[in-house]
Structure formats: structure tokens, C-alpha cells
Copies of this chain bind each other. A is one copy, B any other.
Amino acid sequence: MDSAPTDDQPAPRTARDRARAALMRDLLDTARRQLAVDGAASLSLRAVARELGMASSAVYRYVASRDELLTALIIETYERIAEVAEAALDEARADDLPHGHRWLAVGRAVRGWAHQHPNEWALVYGTPVAGYHAPADTIGPASRVAAVLARVAVDALAAGAAGMPDGATPLPDDLVEPSVVRLFETAGAEPGAFDDPLVVRSMTMWVGLVGLVNFELFGHLANSLVDDDTFFDAALAVAAEAIGLQVDLDLG
């Protein structure tokens, strides 16, 4: 929780180490604050250094390049979103909400975070920053978010609240990589419980959620809706039908 963000550093022994770790945190926090205000495209090392009151060259003691800073921010952002989603699911489970409402709770939490942090959301789920190419380190944190949705689907299926919907369009087999099926098994699925069609259906829920949040955030629903919040819930309910999961919107 309060350890190094990008990778595990040796535990701080000396005063120097502690100062370094503290400044690294400051640096990331400052960068994130600027990102939140101006967006990823205009995030600049010089501006961060300025706000920290240090020479622009000094940040290079902490970060090898602007790209590396972006990577660190991206990883942290995935982790924050994952935490929000996990917390929502944990609470929904603790309250023993119906499975449809667990999905709704996770979706709302993710959306809420996105609305509070639009530029940080866009950093990970919007247009990639020009010239930046994500290293492999971002894959893990990214799939941690997706794993929450997998857990919702797995739970619902196990409880009999979800499954192939009646009259479901037959979908091909051999569509997704084994790693994705494994994600569902890690989330608690019985081996064999999720075949490709069901995985694809679950994925459409996740893709739909992200797409919907982007659609809202990027302004494509402006002037179309009487009530954005209710529309969001309704759209989530429709998305959930992909795996036959019913959302009772009257529960609020």
C-alpha cells in the first residue's frame, strides 16, 4: 500500500533511502495532480520539477524519461481503479446483494471514479499518448481490473443467477487465449464452467462498461439524455443480459 509504486525497492535503511522514497512519492503525486488538471498529453517533467521546487534536471535522478513517468502513472492508475472496483465488490458481497446488483455496484464505482478523475481514466482507457508505447509491466495491473468483473460473472454463474441466456446466439469456440480462460478460473470458476462463448459474453460486459464510460466522458451523450445516471444503470442492465444476469433497477 505504501511501498514503491513501480517495483519493489529494498526496504529503506538509511535517511537517504527514506528521503528518496518520500521524494519519489511527491514526484508521482505532483505528476498525478498535473495530469488530473491538464491531461496526459501536456504532462511535462519540467512543470513537475517546477512545482517540486527543484531543477528540471533533478527529476532524472528519479525517473529515466518522461515515458517512464507515464508508465508509473499508468500502473498506479490501473491499481487505483482496481481497488475501487474490488472494494465495491467486497461490499456488495458483504451485503449479500443479488448478483445483478453486484455488477451494478462495481460498474457504478468504476464510473464514479472515472467521473472524478477523467484525465487519469483517459490515461489508461482513452487514446494512447502519442509516441508512448506501453511496456509489458502494465499488463498485470490492467488485468487486475478485469479480474473483478470476472469474479462477478463467476459468482453469478456458480449461484445459478447467470448462464447462457435463452435463445442466445451461438458463438464460435476457440476465440480467446487460454490466459483469459485462466483468469476466470483464478476468479474461482470450476474448470470447464466457462467455455469460450461464455467468456466472450462476459468480456462484452467489461468492454461495454469501459466503452460506456468513455462515451459519456468524451461527450458523446451530451443532450441525448434526461438522466445520465439512470441511463448508465439501464445500459449496465442490458449489458448484463449477455450472460443472462438480471438487474432489478427498482432496487435502486
Contacts and interface: CB of A to CB of B under 8 A. Distances in A.
Interface string A111-129: 0000000000010011111
A192 interface: no
Interface in A177-199: 177, 179-180, 197
A251 B203 CA distance: 23
Oligomer copy total: 2
26 contacts: A41-B129, A41-B130, A42-B131, A125-B218, A126-B126, A127-B218, A139-B223, A142-B220, A170-B249, A171-B237, A171-B238, A175-B225, A175-B231, A175-B234, A177-B223, A200-B231, A200-B234, A200-B235, A200-B238, A203-B224, A203-B235, A207-B235, A210-B211, A211-B212, A211-B215, A241-B241
A32 interface: no
Interface string A207-231: 1101110110011100111110011
A125 B177 CA distance: 28
Contacts of A169: 237-238, 240-241, 246-249
A149 B141 CA distance: 35
A239 B212 CA distance: 13
A218 to B, nearest CB: 6
Interface residues of A, number: 63
A230 B171 CA distance: 9
Contact of A171 (B130, B174, B201, B249): B249
Interface of A: 38-39, 41-42, 122, 125-131, 134, 139, 142, 165-172, 174-177, 179-180, 197, 200-201, 203-204, 207-208, 210-212, 214-215, 218-220, 223-227, 230-231, 234-235, 237-242, 246-249
Given A127-B127, A203-B224, 20 more contacts: A42-B130, A125-B220, A126-B218, A142-B220, A169-B241, A171-B237, A171-B249, A172-B234, A174-B227, A175-B225, A176-B231, A177-B224, A177-B226, A180-B224, A180-B225, A197-B234, A204-B208, A207-B235, A210-B220, A238-B242
Given A211-B207, A219-B134, A225 B139 contact: no
